[in-house]
Structure 1
Amino acid sequence: MSAFEPSSYGVVIDSRRLDMLQGLPKVATEPVVASVLGVSVAHLARLRRDGRGPLSDTGVNGRVMYRRSQVLAWAVRVMEGR
């Protein structure tokens, strides 16, 4: 699979998108991560619920938060087809 074909995750990860992910804040909200990944918040939430998305944390206020390091690690796995 080339980096430009949608993965089984429904997300296209290429070097440009990886660069964008590296610009995420250290901890980002679900809408921010979804925007950078080019997917809807609902799609990212579905990946999270199915255990197929980046690892996330729930903040004190109940918001889903993603650590940049976890999003990057997940994106690399997606790029490698794992």
Structure 2
Amino acid sequence: MSSTLDRLVMMANQIGRFFTPQRGGDAVAGIADHLEKFWDPRMKENIVAHWRAGGAGLDGPVREAIGRLKEAKRGAPLEAGR
């Protein structure tokens, strides 16, 4: 992985660790909402491409949240990258 991609994975997992204990069963929605609202389109494009390629290093809830992003919904089924 490139250092930029490493950083995106680290940031996404940090967001996941923030939302998981606070939202209980709705953590995935919180993570997806945060990524959708606050991440630059290029960041989202890169993390979705990484998710489609298998998502190495992404925590489970983060992996699921990325599948809910608009970019992930275009083109590939939501099961991609799992």
User: Do the two structures share a fold, i.e. TM-score over 0.5?
Assistant: no
TM-score range with shorter-chain normalisation? 0.3 to 0.5
When normalised by structure 2's length, the TM-score is: 0.32
Higher strand fraction (1 or 2): 1
Higher helix fraction (1 or 2): 2
When normalised by structure 1's length, the TM-score is: 0.32
